[in-house]
Each structure stands twice: as structure tokens, then as C-alpha cells.
């Protein structure tokens, strides 16, 4: 047999697509995707059936209908779960599970591996969010006879938030050594730590503009007409000294800008760390 391989290597972009294709395989064959589908289908079924079970009328406005089915709390949890499950250990698992020894010695840049994995995660979270929203939107068409552009806007913001949360997951995955630590940190950062910072800031009258979870509130706010504005309630009928209660609502433009900022900064930092990381041990 002649051993004279001088084959033309594929472009970086073609390799990104190859990595993404096989990473999607991983997600499609994983129990995590099945678990998240079961969770969202169960919640959707309950929320769609609840008014009928309780004997209450369904909202007549398409945007309000979508808002009543996709309660923001559930949307938020679903996005955090998706970001944790599909991004949280995406990079560190290559090191911890030693699959890096198989892939990294190939003629492929680490940036192509990173981007391919992010692309696959983005497509999976898009799939999860699409099922979540389009079931509610189609049910809204059936029940109310119309589609609200606000629901589409909310869907767009939810997808953007899911991508931003996944980017944070990729960054954490590039920093931490173990999968479990990366999954736990991603989840608690998005579910507890950021919201805690939001609450503390709000209590002090500081709008937590840089916070990803604060900006995510636009997903729900956009379904309200008119769009809610910031306001302050003066609480003087208390046992202690009087104080102000602040209510902040991020404008859509600010939400989009901050989300894009998170996607860009987290992925640039994550990629730099991934490229510098060595396959030791």
C-alpha cells in the first residue's frame, strides 16, 4: 500500500459544520434532550388545559394568551435548564472524558471545534424554544383566531437569551475542569446568583442593566401592552422607616444589546481559554 496522503484539507467553516453535525448527534441521542422535551410538553399541556379545568375563559388577545401559557417563570427555567444541559459541560467534557485525545490531534483548529459545538448547542436550544413558543402561538391561533407580533418578538428575545445563557455556559465550561462543577455553576449562576444581584440592586434603587437575567425580563414585558415603564412606590405605611420600592423594566433595545454583548464577550473569552488549555493528565 502506498502511503502518500497529501489530501486537501477542508476549510475552517466546513469543519465547523462537520463538528456541529456530529455534536447535534450527541444531543439527539442524549437523555438530556428527551428529559427537556418531556418537561416542556408536560408544562405546556398543563398550562393549556388549566383554564378549561378551572372553568375559566381563555384570554381573547393573542399576546395575552401566549403570556398566560408561557408563564415567564417557566420560560426562564426552561432556558436555564437548556443552557445548563447543552452548554454547561460542552468544552470541559472533552478534557475530562478524554475525547480530546481523539479529536484534538486532527488537522482542525480549536476555534473550529469551539464554534461547531456552539453552533450545535444554538440549534438545539433554538429547537427547544421553538417548540415552547410555537405550540403556544399555534394554540393561540386556534383559540383567539390571531397571531400577535408581540409573541414573535418575545420568541426572538427568548432565543437571544437562550443563546446568551448558553454562551455563559460555554465560558464556564472553558474555565472549569470537571463537568459536574461546570453544570452546577452554570445553573446556579443563572438561576440564583444573577437574580440575587438583580434583587439587591433593585432594592437599592440601582437598575441592574448589565445583568443577563434582568435583561431577560423583556421576554415577558414585551407581551404587555403598553410596554411597562420603570416606577417607584413610596412605602410609608410600615412599622419601620418609610422606603422606596423600585420596579425596573429593561427596554427591548437594551435587552438585545446586553444579550448580544454576553454572547460576544463570553464566547471570545471562552475561545481564548479553550485555545490555551492543554491536554494534561
Partner 1 sequence: MQEPIVLQNLTKVYGKEFKAVDDLTLTVKPSSFVGILGPNGAGKTTTIKMLTNLLTVTSGHAYLNGIDVSSDPKNALGGVGAVVETPEFYPFLTPTETLEYLGAIRGMPKADVKKRTKEVLELVKMTEWSGVRIGKFSKGMKQRIALAQALLHEPTIVILDEPTSGLDPRGMVEVREVLKELKKMQYTVFMSSHLLNEVQEVCNEVALIDHGKLMAYDSVNALSSRIDSKKLEVRIADQVRGDAMDKLREFQGVRFLNIVNEQQFFIDFAGDEQAQADLLLKIQGLGYRVVSFKEAGVALENLYMSLIKSSR
Q: Which residues bind partner 1 (CB under 8 A)?
A: 1-10, 14-15, 18-19, 21-22, 25-26, 29-30, 97-109, 276, 278-280
- State the cell numbers at 259: 444579550
- Number of neighbouring beta carbons within 10 Å of residue 129: 23
In the complex with partner 1, the residue whose CB is nearer, 7 or 226, is: 7
The answer to whether residues 198 and 246 touch, using CB atoms and an 8 Å cutoff, is no
Q: How far is the CB of 166 from partner 1 (least distance, A)?
A: 20
Q: 3-class DSSP state for residue 235?
A: strand
CB nearer to partner 1: pick between 100 and 201: 100
As measured in angstroms, the least distance from the Cβ of 94 to partner 1 is 9
Quick one: CA dihedral 32, 264, 182, 119, positive or negative?
Answer: positive
Specify the residue, 8 or 236, whose C-beta has the smaller distance to partner 1. Answer: 8
> Quick one: 3 or 253, whose CB is closer to partner 1?
3
Cβ–Cβ under 8 Å, residues 270 and 167 = yes
Q: Shortest Cβ distance from residue 217 to partner 1 (Å)?
A: 37
State the number of CA atoms in the 13 A half-sphere of 57 facing the CB. 5
Minimal distance, residue 38 CB to partner 1, in Å:
19
Q: What is the DSSP letter of 232?
A: E
At closest approach, how far in Å is the CB of 169 from partner 1?
A: 19
Which is nearest to 279 in space by CA: 19, 17, 116, 91? 91
**Please, which residues have CB within 8 angstroms of residue 140's CB and are 6 or more apart in sequence?**
62, 65, 66, 69, 146, 147, 148, 151
- Which lies closer to partner 1 via its Cβ, residue 29 or residue 142? 29
Which DSSP state fits 192? I
Contact 115, 166 (CB under 8 A): no
Nearer to partner 1, 93 or 267 (CB): 93
Task: Select 7 or 253, whichever has its Cβ closest to partner 1.
Answer: 7
Residue with cell 472524558: 97
H/E run at residue 233? strand 231-235
Our CB check for partner 1 shows the closer of 24 and 64 to be: 24
Query: Tell me, what DSSP letter sits at residue 88?
Result: T
Minimum CB separation of residue 122 from partner 1 in Å reads 20
Nearest to 44, CA basis, from 156, 128, 161, 162: 128
Minimum distance, C-beta of residue 3 to partner 1, in the bound complex (Å): 5
Q: How far is the CB of 175 from partner 1 (least distance, A)?
A: 18
Amino acid at each position: 500500500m502506498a502511503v502518500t496522503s497529501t489530501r486537501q484539507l477542508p476549510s475552517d467553516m466546513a469543519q465547523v459544520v462537520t463538528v456541529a453535525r456530529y455534536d447535534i448527534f450527541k444531543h439527539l441521542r442524549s437523555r438530556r434532550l428527551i428529559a427537556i422535551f418531556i418537561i416542556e410538553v408536560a408544562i405546556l399541556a398543563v398550562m393549556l388545559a388549566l383554564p378549561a379545568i378551572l372553568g375559566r375563559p381563555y384570554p381573547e388577545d393573542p399576546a395575552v394568551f401566549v403570556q398566560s401559557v408561557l408563564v415567564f417563570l417557566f420560560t426562564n427555567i426552561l432556558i436555564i435548564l437548556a443552557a445548563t444541559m447543552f452548554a454547561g459541560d460542552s468544552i470541559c467534557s472533552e478534557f475530562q472524558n478524554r475525547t480530546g485525545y481523539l479529536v484534538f490531534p486532527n488537522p482542525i483548529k480549536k476555534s473550529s471545534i469551539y464554534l461547531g459545538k456552539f453552533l450545535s448547542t444554538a440549534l438545539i436550544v433554538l429547537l427547544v424554544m421553538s417548540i415552547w413558543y410555537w405550540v403556544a402561538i399555534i394554540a393561540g391561533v386556534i383559540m383567539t383566531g390571531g397571531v400577535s407580533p408581540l409573541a414573535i418578538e418575545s420568541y426572538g428575545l427568548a432565543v437571544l437569551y437562550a443563546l446568551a445563557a448558553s454562551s455563559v455556559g460555554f465560558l464556564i465550561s472553558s474555565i472549569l475542569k470537571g463537568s459536574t462543577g461546570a453544570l452546577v455553576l452554570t445553573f446556579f449562576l443563572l438561576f440564583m446568583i444573577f437574580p440575587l444581584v438583580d434583587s439587591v440592586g433593585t432594592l437599592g434603587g440601582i437598575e441592574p442593566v448589565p445583568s443577563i437575567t434582568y435583561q431577560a425580563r423583556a421576554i415577558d414585558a414585551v407581551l404587555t401592552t403598553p410596554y411597562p415603564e420603570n416606577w417607584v412606590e413610596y412605602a410609608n405605611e410600615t412599622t419601620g422607616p418609610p422606603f422606596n420600592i423600585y420596579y425596573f423594566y429593561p427596554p427591548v433595545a437594551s435587552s438585545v444589546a446586553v444579550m448580544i454583548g454576553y454572547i460576544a464577550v463570553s464566547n471570545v473569552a471562552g475561545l481564548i481559554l479553550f485555545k490555551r488549555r492543554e491536554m494534561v493528565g
